[in-house]
Amino acid sequence: MSSPPVTGPAAVPEHRGGPGPARFRPRRAVPAGHARPRRRGPLSYWRQYLAISPFYLIFIAFSFFPVFYSLYLAFQRWDGLGDMQFVGLQQFKFLWSDPVFWLSIRNTLVIWVLSTVPTLFGALVLATLLHSVRRFKGFYRIALYVPNVTSIVAVAIFFGAVFSNNFGLVNAILGTVGISPVPWLSNPWLIKVVIALLMTWMWTGYNMIIYLAGLQAIPTSIYEAAKMDGAGPVRTFFQITVPIMRPIILFTVVISTINGLQSFSEPQVLFANNAANANLGGPGQAGLTTLLYFYQSAFLNNDYGYGAAIVWAFFVLIIVLVAVNWRITQRGRKA
């Protein structure tokens, strides 16, 4: 599913097919023409508070409070049934020396890099191509977006079948040209490659649509000038398209970081068959992502305190990575 936007880039592109009146007026804190004669007490706004209350009641109960409660849990030892026991930083100390946790972090990062880089690059190339053609635009957009609305479970089952070591389509095709079967789902690196391929397949179209909207906002005169100066399509792409699109690229990098690091369903479904170690990320735990490890600790081992510690440590990691990404992209702008 398309992810919620987090921040918006500066450029506001032209929209195609988007209904509704002008939406690009500069936003004001107070909408113009809105009569708001005098400051009134909060109570006179009871209707507005009533209007937002259904959402906020649910939000507080199921989002706001749980986030802090899980931080509280990270300092406890609890199996969900008996009494909670305060253990201070013990969970985090254990986490620090837990090789499986670090393995899961490594797996997550490798899968994230292997999927994000081709996804974003491919999306940018496809968006550029799509922007340049005149015909069949609508068809391309829909056909390339459709992977993103397919359920992860269905996609993971499909990839499991196609990359199956013994009977998969990929190995069967390789077999017909005389290449011996490749152990896609048992080699630690190939496992990550398959998961990354799956994510790339699902997310390229989504990012392409975002890039396309950005491209449509770039004035065509810039491209005409470049063409007159004799720049070829590749040069134009790297020296004009990429720099102008930087804010939108940054946006997609942040979104992909948040989404890509949360891979869970893909390895969970892919290796659920593995009777010996279901939910452990397959052979050698090579597909064990951090969230899968969290799921296993919290919901299969009923170690709530440790599970909470895993997600919070992981959250800190995401923040660090987003900050690093941000810095890199910002520095690139100055250079």
Partner 1 sequence: MTTADTTGPAAGKRRLRRPKGLTAHILLMLAVVISVFPFLWTIIMATNTTQDIYKSPPKFTFGSHLLENIRHVLNTIDFFGSMLNTVVVACVTTVLVLFVDSLAAFAFAKFDFPGRKVLFGTLLLFMMLPLQLAVLPQFILMSKIGWVGTLQALVPPALANAFGIFWLRQYIENGVPDELLDAARIDGAGFFRQYWNIALPMIRPALSFLAIYAFVGAWNDYVWPLIVLTNPAHVTLQVELAQLNVGHTTDYSMVMAGVLMAALPLVIVFAVFARGFIAGATEGAVQGT
Task: Considering only residues 98 through 127, tell me which ones interact with partner 1, judged by CB under 8 A.
Answer: 122, 126
Task: Tell me: does residue 218 bind partner 1 (CB under 8 A).
Answer: no
Contact 278, 250 (CB under 8 A): no
The tally of CA atoms less than 13 A away on the side-chain side of residue 68 is 5
Task: Tell me: does residue 97 bind partner 1 (CB under 8 A).
Answer: no
**Residue of 236, 315, 321, 325 interacting with partner 1 (CB under 8 A):** 315
Q: Using CB under 8 A, which residues numbered 166 to 195 contact partner 1? A: 167, 169, 172-173, 175-176
Tokens of 214: 């950005």
CB-based burial, 14-53: b 16+ in 10 Å, e otherwise:
eeeeeeeeeeeeeeeeeeeeeeeeeeeeeeeeeeeeeeee
Contact 9, 250 (CB under 8 A): yes
In angstroms, the first-to-last Cα distance of the chain is 35
Contact 122, 197 (CB under 8 A): no
User: Least distance in Å: CB of 17 to partner 1?
Assistant: 4
**Residue of 106, 318, 325, 329 interacting with partner 1 (CB under 8 A):** 318
**Which residue stretch of 86-94, 100-108, 113-121, 293-301 sits at the interface with partner 1 (rule: CB under 8 A)?**
293-301
Q: Using CB under 8 A, which residues numbered 73 to 92 contact partner 1? A: 73, 80
**Which residue stretch of 23-31, 96-104, 281-289, 324-332 sits at the interface with partner 1 (rule: CB under 8 A)?**
23-31
**Which residue stretch of 97-105, 108-116, 188-196, 220-228 sits at the interface with partner 1 (rule: CB under 8 A)?**
220-228
**Residue of 38, 134, 331, 334 interacting with partner 1 (CB under 8 A):** 134
Q: Which residues pair with 76 in a beta bridge?
A: 86
The size of the interface with partner 1 (CB under 8 A), counted in residues, is: 128
User: Least distance in Å: CB of 104 to partner 1?
Assistant: 13
Task: Tell me: does residue 25 bind partner 1 (CB under 8 A).
Answer: yes
Distance CA 4, CA 195 (A): 23
Task: Tell me: does residue 309 bind partner 1 (CB under 8 A).
Answer: no
Tokens of 283: 């052979």
